């Protein structure tokens, strides 16, 4: 199970870790939906008033007025049953799965009332699967995905099988498979028979332009895509932990960040923008490093280099993400693609200065500019950061709202409960498109929770133990909302553009001032 890190295929991995090392924050619990939407409304109103006072008193459209009304995702409590799937490493057979029976399907409550709608980012499940929507996915098309894939994962009759094609950096593949196994524990009997090809490298690779018809494109699951690629977005491995860089699974990370947020209230934080990461190899990060105060001009940014080699030598003591919620503003910037740091940065209760990026991951697609983050112009990063910080320090109420809304999104809409619901919906919708019955590939081996966890070493096992699903859900997942209509999508894009333009204009005026 152990893999050495450096021999990676030129991937931008550690860099992500780098970006990673930034942030995170804490949260409160959900309120019942009616109250929640009223509160969101009030918050919005406050934001609107704040912004319009600053911008242009008549210009209400500035702050994305209605986008919030599209949001149907309300935090709900996902309750768990008493049904548990056994786990033990004591038995000598525990490193293989042979002989394990599929868990009996949990009996779902008969009168399951319709569950609340899932958050809006679930709508992109439809977009991701759109290419195969009429023609379906034939075995032939599916197998053409092999050249991109690191592994193939097949579920047949409640058992999971993996055929490995290439070694992924660190344990990305294993933790991804682990995540799917935990999904099967949380929703026993619910994960349908399926056959997926999974790629563990960073940017999307399935270029739409290379295929005459979209349904000719091979379906490739991975963590990230952009507009020009057809990869299917899946939660990245770090939700179950990234032990090589000291990152625990998402749920305990959130709890730690929450404690830090309580410890250092926003107004007591440094009134500056913070980033820590690895700038090497990425031009945009390199550009951003010029905004550091050490370069002779005050752009309100404090940027730090993360040297992973050194950090490991001292046991990652200075790299604790929860300890990085000490600045009023946190910068998020892409690396080789999306950065795993995103969710920790967002969770910090400090407004995120989000350097606008073409990369889409499960989380970024749910974020609304002006509500969850402050967009930073990727072509004028220093000026843009300077203005955002000056503005926020002059409008602390509004700035805190953005920080809180971003954090609330991270802890409520991106909670593990929803991550599992997302995975279940995505895999279920995907399985419906298969035009053949999945069978176990000859070279595949069965995987199960104990076959991964029992042989894991001391570095990896704790993350697995901390992220193991012990009890089955006792209700249905949230209800999958439809795709955004073309009109809704256009409206959101237009509003975002308008916000960017408005901010740009203010930035230039601000910069021109002596
Ligand atoms: C905002 O939403 C309300 C209620 O849904 C609607 O009546 C109004 O026309 C919308 N305004 C804009 C500018 O879209
Ligand atoms: C949801 O869970 C929280 C925390 O466990 C609890 O305080 C709250 O009452 C629950 N709400 C509902 C509607 O069950
Ligand atoms: C689960 O177990 C607890 C403790 O044994 C019991 O009080 C509770 O009623 C059980 N819940 C269900 C849904 O069976
Ligand atoms: C080990 O597994 C076998 C087969 O599942 C079972 O019969 C046996 O009781 C187990 N032994 C222990 C000590 O759990
Ligand atoms: C950025 O500036 C701070 C403050 O002077 C300094 O401590 C830090 O090392 C600088 N970062 C880099 C990457 O040079």
Mean pLDDT by 10 residues, the chain (514 residues): 36 41 32 39 43 36 40 63 79 65 61 78 98 96 96 96 93 96 93 97 95 96 97 98 93 95 96 94 94 92 87 74 91 95 96 97 95 94 95 92 94 95 98 98 94 91 94 88 95 91 88 76
User: What is the secondary structure of 238-277 as a DSSP string?
Assistant: GGG-BGGGTBPPHHHHHHHHHHHHHHS-GGGSEEEEEEEE
| Cβ–ligand 3 contact at 473 (below 6 Å) | no
Q: What are phi and psi of 452, to 5 degrees?
A: -90, -45
pTM for the full predicted model: 0.84
Residue 252's CB is within 10 A of a number of other CB atoms, namely 15
State the pLDDT at residue 99: 62
For residues 91 and 132, membership in a common domain is answered with yes
**Does residue 253 fall inside a structural domain?**
yes
Ligand 4: which residue has its CA nearest to atom 11?
91
Q: Which one of the ligands is nearest to 36 CA? A: 2
> Which of 79, 82, 474 is the pocket-test mutation for ligand 3 (most atoms within 8 Å of CB)?
82
Q: At which residue do the structure tokens 């404090």 appear? A: 302
For residues 288 and 403, membership in a common domain is answered with yes
What spacing in Å lies between the alpha carbon of 67 and ligand 1's midpoint?
A: 9
For residues 390 and 421, membership in a common domain is answered with no
State the pLDDT at residue 109: 61
Q: Which one of the ligands is nearest to 33 CA? A: 2
| Cβ–ligand 3 contact at 88 (below 6 Å) | no
What spacing in Å lies between the alpha carbon of 346 and ligand 5's midpoint?
A: 23
Q: Which one of the ligands is nearest to 307 CA? A: 5
**Does residue 346 fall inside a structural domain?**
yes
What spacing in Å lies between the alpha carbon of 82 and ligand 3's midpoint?
A: 6
| Cβ–ligand 1 contact at 136 (below 6 Å) | no
State the pLDDT at residue 480: 94
Atom of ligand 2 at shortest distance to CA of 77? 1
User: What is the secondary structure of 420-446 as a DSSP string?
Assistant: HHHHHHHHHHHHHHBSS-----TT-EE
**Does residue 199 fall inside a structural domain?**
yes
What spacing in Å lies between the alpha carbon of 123 and ligand 1's midpoint?
A: 21
What spacing in Å lies between the alpha carbon of 245 and ligand 3's midpoint?
A: 38
For residues 141 and 166, membership in a common domain is answered with yes
| Cβ–ligand 1 contact at 69 (below 6 Å) | yes
For residues 237 and 270, membership in a common domain is answered with no
| Cβ–ligand 5 contact at 303 (below 6 Å) | yes
> Which of 41, 52, 66, 67 is the pocket-test mutation for ligand 1 (most atoms within 8 Å of CB)?
66
**Does residue 1 fall inside a structural domain?**
no
Of 262, 271, 336, 274, the residue nearest 304 (C-alpha):
274
Of 308, 222, 173, 238, the residue nearest 466 (C-alpha):
238
Taking each continuous run of H as one helix and of E as one strand, the counts in the chain are: 16, 13
For residues 401 and 468, membership in a common domain is answered with no
State the pLDDT at residue 514: 65
Ligand 2: which residue has its CA nearest to atom 4?
29
**Does residue 399 fall inside a structural domain?**
yes
State the pLDDT at residue 102: 61
CATH of the domain at 28: 3.40.50
Residue 153's CB is within 10 A of a number of other CB atoms, namely 24
What is d(CA 30, CA 439) in angstroms, rounded to the nearest whole number? 42
What is d(CA 232, CA 223) in angstroms, rounded to the nearest whole number? 8
For residues 390 and 451, membership in a common domain is answered with no
**Does residue 21 fall inside a structural domain?**
yes
Rg (the chain; Cα; Å): 23
Domain that holds residue 287: 10-73+246-414+502-512
For residues 409 and 431, membership in a common domain is answered with no
State the pLDDT at residue 77: 73
| Cβ–ligand 3 contact at 106 (below 6 Å) | no
For residues 391 and 451, membership in a common domain is answered with no
Question: How many domains does the chain divide into?
Answer: 2
Ligand 3: which residue has its CA nearest to atom 5?
82
State the pLDDT at residue 24: 29
What is d(CA 462, CA 243) in angstroms, rounded to the nearest whole number? 9
State the pLDDT at residue 37: 40
SS3 207: strand
What spacing in Å lies between the alpha carbon of 84 and ligand 3's midpoint?
A: 12
Q: Per-residue b/e over 159-176, b at no fewer than 16 CB within 10 Å?
A: bbbbbbbeebbbbbbbbb
State the pLDDT at residue 48: 43
Ligand 3: which residue has its CA nearest to atom 3?
82
Q: Which one of the ligands is nearest to 76 CA? A: 2
For residues 218 and 136, membership in a common domain is answered with yes
What is each CA distance from 431 to 10, 11, 219, 235, 483, in whole angstroms? 32, 30, 12, 18, 18
Q: Which one of the ligands is nearest to 302 CA? A: 5
Ligand 4: which residue has its CA nearest to atom 14?
91
The answer for residues whose C-beta is within 8 angstroms of residue 171's C-beta and 6 or more apart is 1, 3, 237, 243, 244, 460
- Ligand 4 contacts (CB < 6 A) are 90-91, 93, 99
State the pLDDT at residue 110: 54
Of 363, 301, 375, 321, the residue nearest 338 (C-alpha):
363
**Does residue 118 fall inside a structural domain?**
yes
- Ligand 2 contacts (CB < 6 A) are 29-30, 32, 77
| Cβ–ligand 5 contact at 292 (below 6 Å) | yes
Q: Which one of the ligands is nearest to 475 CA? A: 3
For residues 444 and 460, membership in a common domain is answered with yes
For residues 300 and 409, membership in a common domain is answered with yes
**Does residue 492 fall inside a structural domain?**
no
Ligand 4: which residue has its CA nearest to atom 9?
91
Written in H, E and C, the secondary structure of 336-353 is CCCCCHHHHHHCCCCCEE
Per DSSP, 72 falls in state -
| Structural tokens at position 445 | 């081996």
Residue 438's CB is within 10 A of a number of other CB atoms, namely 19
What spacing in Å lies between the alpha carbon of 500 and ligand 1's midpoint?
A: 21
């Amino acid at each position: 199970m152990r893999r050495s890190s450096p021999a990676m295929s030129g991937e931008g991995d550690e860099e992500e870790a780098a970006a990673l090392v930034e942030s995170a924050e804490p949260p409160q619990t959900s309120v019942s939906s009616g109250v929640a939407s009223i509160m969101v409304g009030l918050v919005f109103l406050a934001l609107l008033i704040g912004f319009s006072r600053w911008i242009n008193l008549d210009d209400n459209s500035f702050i994305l007025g209605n986008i919030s009304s599209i949001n149907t995702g309300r935090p709900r409590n996902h309750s768990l049953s008493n049904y548990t799937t056994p786990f033990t490493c004591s038995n000598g057979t525990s490193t293989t799965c042979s002989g394990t029976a599929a868990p009996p399907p949990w009996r779902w409550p008969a009168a399951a009332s319709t569950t609340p709608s899932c958050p809006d980012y679930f709508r992109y499940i439809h977009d991701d699967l759109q290419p195969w929507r009429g023609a379906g996915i034939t075995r032939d098309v599916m197998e053409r995905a092999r050249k991109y894939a690191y592994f193939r994962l097949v579920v047949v009759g409640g058992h999971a099988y993996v055929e490995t094609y290439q070694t992924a950096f660190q344990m990305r593949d294993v933790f991804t498979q682990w995540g799917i196994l935990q999904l099967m524990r949380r929703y026993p009997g619910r994960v349908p028979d399926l056959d997926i090809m999974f790629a563990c490298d960073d940017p999307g690779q399935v270029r739409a332009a290379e295929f005459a018809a979209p349904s000719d494109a091979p379906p490739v699951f991975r963590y990230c895509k952009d507009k020009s690629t057809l990869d299917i977005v899946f939660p990245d491995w770090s939700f179950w932990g990234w032990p090589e860089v000291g990152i625990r699974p998402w749920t305990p990370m959130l709890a730690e960040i929450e404690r830090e947020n309580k410890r250092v209230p926003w107004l007591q934080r440094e009134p500056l923008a913070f980033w820590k990461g690895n700038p090497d190899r990425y031009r945009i990060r390199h550009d951003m490093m010029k905004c550091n105060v050490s370069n002779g001009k005050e752009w309100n940014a404090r940027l730090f280099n993360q040297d992973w080699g050194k950090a490991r030598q001292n046991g990652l003591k200075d790299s604790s993400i929860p300890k990085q919620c000490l600045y009023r503003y946190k910068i998020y910037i892409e690396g080789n693609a999306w950065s795993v740091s995103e969710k920790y940065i967002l969770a910090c209760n400090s407004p995120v200065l989000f350097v606008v990026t073409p990369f889409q991951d499960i989380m970024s697609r749910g974020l609304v500019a002006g509500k969850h983050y402050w967009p930073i112009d990727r072509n004028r990063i220093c000026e843009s950061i300077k203005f955002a910080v000056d503005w926020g320090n002059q409008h602390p109420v509004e700035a805190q709202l953005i920080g809180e809304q971003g954090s609330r999104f991270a802890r409520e809409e991106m909670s593990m409960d929803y991550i599992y619901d997302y995975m279940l919906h995505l895999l279920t919708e995907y399985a419906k498109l298969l035009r053949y019955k999945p069978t176990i590939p000859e070279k595949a081996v069965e995987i199960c929770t104990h076959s991964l966890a029992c042989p894991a070493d001391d570095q990896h096992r704790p993350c697995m133990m901390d992220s193991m699903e012990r009890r089955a859900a006792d209700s249905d997942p949230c209800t999958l909302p439809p795709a955004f209509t073309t009109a809704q999508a256009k409206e959101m894009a237009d509003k975002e553009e308008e916000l960017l333009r408005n901010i740009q204009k203010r930035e230039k005026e601000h910069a021109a001032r002596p």
